């Protein structure tokens, strides 16, 4: 079941946090509520680490990672790098990379097996993605947008993409990524999916403006409801959610 | 037939032809090709249109043949139009109100919903035919008693009272206005992007206060009509106060003011206010060089509704002379 929360009145929680199957990063915020929400869900399972990146709170936009590793932009300070290396599990390789597109979270969407990358990403970055994160990299746009990281939220079980993604693109992406995909919105109609939510294999967090319908779609596509089969609940909801004109 | 607000009847009495807008129209009519205007922004006076929203008939985009070098010389042409709040405006309005209560966590989305539901009083300023539907400014007045059950209003009232707790005399007056007299009190909310042209301010406030007076006659129920008979307006704004006010007297040139108002109309409101007080804001943003001696403060003040005509007059002259 997805949880709703906000970071200092902003519903763009994907900007201020990064969630993977092995760890969770959160920004250092004004109130403890943000961090506590993550702690409540994840404390027993994976470490929740408070950090900044390059002195900013935008940990979600600037970093990309999965259970194998974490890549950080060149603006990350040495202290932040050391702090992260100390706090994260040993099997997670933390690396700072030289990439001119330094908002890595906006440019790259990934799970533990595949990644969708900005079309102008450096060759070295692509190789590092493959080596450090252990993923197969596809340079793809999402609904015509090069910032694949912003407009797509991905886990090993499903993905949510920009609402204007065409059916053909959805099918193509779904084949590449080998997970079921749904085009939808988060935070009451916002198209920046990855800014509005973070997800891993068993839980998700969304901005507090997210409507109940959006939450059900998220629960279904990422299979957060326990023992449902792929697309199970969604097919049931399909009639009430989508109009089809024959 | 049920009576509907007939705004354009009242607007006909406005002297549109003598406004800068009218002069620009006349100018446009006399030349064959639109030339680049010396003033960068076309302002608006409400002309006859339904629902109080304004149509600007001029085609402002310079023709391709006209702009010979195509370089951007820093002048942006924009048509601003005033609209009633719509549910679609949610994200734009929420962005404008993000810092309304500083960093306090409160039901901001609920507050935005309140503003958008009140279509009779409330104006949003957008750019005409803008696909992004970006909101540039917002002005509205909310009756504190009508919405007293709403979580956001309760939180807002508690916050105001908490900030006023230091100021003995004022705290009691604030408590009165927020409590017993709430049915006569309107919360004036006015937020805008920083660089909005000041020529838009008189029409914006005029449309707001006009809507308030029309609502006292046009609303369907007696209760709603009464809810707009405001006797007081309470508002929260941001100002910059000089850190060392005594230092100012030592300087020979009085170039540094004691208080810098982020919104120009706040100065007029402050002068006309029945009472006011400041409190420090928790977020201190890194100030530009000119502002390094100032710190940002919140300002809460109450203005009697009788003073509004004076305000409108002074705002007009302030904008015209600047």
Per-residue model confidence as pLDDT tens digits over A169-208: 999 999 999 999 999 999 999 999 999 999 999 999 999 9
Give the distance from residue A35's alpha carbon to the nearest chain B alpha carbon, in angstroms. Answer: 14
Of the candidate ranges A190-199, A216-225, B36-45, the one whose mean pLDDT is the lowest = B36-45
Question: What confidence category does residue B287 fall into, taking pLDDT thresholds of 50, 70 and 90?
Answer: low
Output the pLDDT for position A50.
Answer: 94
B109: which chain A residues are within 8 Å (Cβ-Cβ)?
Answer: 11, 188, 208-209
Tabulate helix, strand, coil % of chain B (nearest 5): 40, 20, 40
Averaged pLDDT, A97-114 = 94
Contact criterion met (CB < 8 Å) for B91 and A6? no
Q: What mean pLDDT is reported for chain B?
A: 76
Partner residue opposite A9 with nearest CB, options B91, B108, B282 = B108
Cβ–Cβ gap B105/A9 under 8 Å: yes
Dihedral Cα A112, A116, A122, A126, nearest 10 deg: 30
Local confidence band at A243 (pLDDT 50, 70, 90 cut-offs): low
Mean pLDDT in residue range B217-234: 89
Residues of chain B with pLDDT > 70, as a percent, come to 71
| Confidence category of residue A32, pLDDT binned at 50, 70, 90 | confident
Side-by-side strand order, sheet with A159-161: A152-154, A159-161, A181-183
Average pLDDT of the residues in A118-139: 94
pLDDT at B34 over 50: no
Which strands, in side-by-side order, build the sheet including A108-110?
Answer: A108-110, A114-117, A136-139
pLDDT (average), residues B221-249: 83
Q: What's the whole-number average pLDDT of chain A?
A: 90
Model pLDDT, residue B177: 84
What are the phi and psi torsion angles at A176 (to 5°)? -65, -45
B105 contacts A33? CB cut-off 8 A: yes
Whether B244 contacts B293, CB under 8 Å: yes
User: Which chain A residue is nearest to residue B107, measuring alpha carbons?
Assistant: A9
pLDDT score of B20 more than 70: no
* pLDDT reported for residue A235: 55
Q: According to the model, what pLDDT value does residue A239 have?
A: 59
Answer whether residue B43 shows pLDDT above 80.
Answer: no
Q: Specify the pLDDT at position B254.
A: 53
Residues A145-174: tens digit of each pLDDT: 999 999 999 999 999 999 999 999 999 999
| Res A123 pLDDT > 50 | yes
**A190–B91 CB contact, under 8 Å:** yes
pLDDT value for B245: 64
Tens digits of residue pLDDT in A42-75: 988 999 999 999 999 999 999 999 999 999 999 9
d(C-alpha B272, C-alpha B301), whole Å: 10
Average pLDDT rounded to a whole number, residues B148-169: 87
Q: pLDDT class for B28, splitting at 50, 70, 90?
A: low
What is the pLDDT at residue B136? Answer: 92
pLDDT confidence bin for B36, thresholds 50/70/90: very low
Sheet holding A93-96, edge to edge: A64-65, A69-72, A93-96
Residue A181 or residue B99, greater confidence: A181
Whether A240 shows a pLDDT value over 80: the answer reads no
Which pLDDT band, with edges at 50, 70 and 90, does B133 fall under? confident
Beta-carbon-side half-sphere exposure of residue A78 (alpha carbons within 13 Å) = 0
Q: Looking at B94-171, which runs of residues are DSSP E strands?
A: 123-127, 135-143
Is there a contact between B90 and A188 if contact means CB atoms under 8 Å apart? yes
CA pair distance B80, B56, nearest whole angstrom: 8
pLDDT at B26 over 80: no
Residue B255 clears pLDDT 80, i.e. is over it: no
- Is the predicted pLDDT of residue B42 greater than 90, yes or no? no
- Greater confidence, B245 or B228? B228
Q: Indicate the pLDDT class of residue B250, thresholds 50, 70 and 90.
A: low
């Amino acid at each position: 079941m997805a949880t709703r929360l906000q970071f200092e009145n902003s519903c763009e929680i994907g900007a201020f946090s990064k969630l993977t199957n092995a760890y969770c990063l959160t920004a250092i915020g004004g109130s403890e509520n943000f961090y506590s929400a993550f702690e409540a869900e994840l404390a027993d399972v994976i470490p929740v680490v408070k950090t900044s990146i390059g002195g900013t709170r935008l940990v979600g936009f600037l970093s990309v990672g999965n259970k194998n590793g974490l890549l950080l932009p060149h603006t990350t300070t040495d202290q932040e790098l050391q702090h992260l290396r100390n706090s994260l599990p040993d099997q997670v390789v933390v690396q700072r990379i030289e990439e001119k597109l330094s908002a890595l979270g906006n440019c790259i969407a990934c799970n533990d097996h595949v990644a969708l990358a900005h079309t102008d990403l450096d060759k070295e970055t692509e190789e590092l993605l493959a080596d450090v994160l252990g993923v197969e990299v596809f340079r793809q746009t999402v609904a015509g947008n090069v910032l694949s990281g912003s407009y797509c939220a991905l886990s090993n079980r499903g993905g949510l993409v920009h609402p204007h993604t065409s059916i053909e693109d959805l099918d193509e992406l779904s084949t590449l990524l080998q997970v079921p995909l749904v085009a939808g919105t988060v935070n009451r109609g916002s198209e920046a999916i990855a800014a509005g939510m973070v997800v891993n294999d068993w839980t998700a967090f969304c901005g507090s403006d997210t409507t109940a319908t959006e939450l059900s779609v998220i629960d279904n596509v990422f299979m957060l409801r326990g023992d449902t089969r792929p697309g199970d609940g969604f097919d049931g909801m399909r009639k009430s959610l989508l109009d089809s004109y024959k | 037939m049920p009576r509907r607000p007939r705004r354009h009847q009242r607007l006909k009495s406005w002297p549109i032809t003598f406004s800068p807008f009218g002069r620009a129209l006349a100018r446009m009519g006399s030349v064959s090709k639109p030339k680049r205007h010396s003033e960068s922004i076309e302002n608006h006076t409400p002309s006859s249109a339904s629902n109080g929203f304004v149509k600007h008939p001029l085609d402002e985009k310079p023709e391709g043949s006209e702009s010979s070098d195509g370089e951007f010389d820093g002048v942006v042409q924009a048509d601003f139009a005033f609209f009633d709040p719509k549910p679609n405006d949610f994200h734009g309005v929420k962005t404008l109100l993000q810092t309304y209560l500083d960093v306090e966590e409160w039901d901001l989305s609920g507050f935005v919903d309140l503003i958008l539901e009140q279509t009779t009083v409330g104006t949003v300023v957008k750019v005409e035919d803008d696909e992004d539907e970006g909101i540039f400014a917002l002005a509205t007045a909310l009756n504190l008693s009508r919405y007293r059950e709403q979580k956001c209003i309760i939180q807002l009232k508690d916050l105001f009272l908490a900030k006023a707790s230091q100021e003995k005399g004022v705290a009691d007056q604030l408590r009165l206005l927020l409590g017993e007299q709430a049915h006569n009190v309107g919360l004036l909310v006015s937020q805008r992007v920083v660089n909005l042209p000041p020529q838009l301010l008189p029409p914006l406030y005029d449309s707001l206060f006009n809507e308030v007076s029309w609502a006292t006659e046009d609303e369907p129920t007696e209760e709603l009509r009464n809810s707009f008979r405001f006797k007081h307006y309470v508002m929260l704004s941001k100002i910059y106060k000089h850190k060392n006010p005594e230092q100012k007297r030592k300087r020979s040139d009085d170039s540094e003011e004691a208080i810098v108002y982020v919104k120009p109309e706040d100065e007029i409101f402050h002068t006309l206010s029945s009472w006011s007080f400041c409190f420090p804001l928790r977020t201190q943003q890194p100030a530009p060089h000119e502002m390094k001696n100032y710190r940002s403060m919140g300002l809460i003040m109450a203005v009697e509704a009788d003073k509004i005509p004076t305000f409108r007059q002074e705002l007009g002259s302030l904008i015209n002379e600047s």
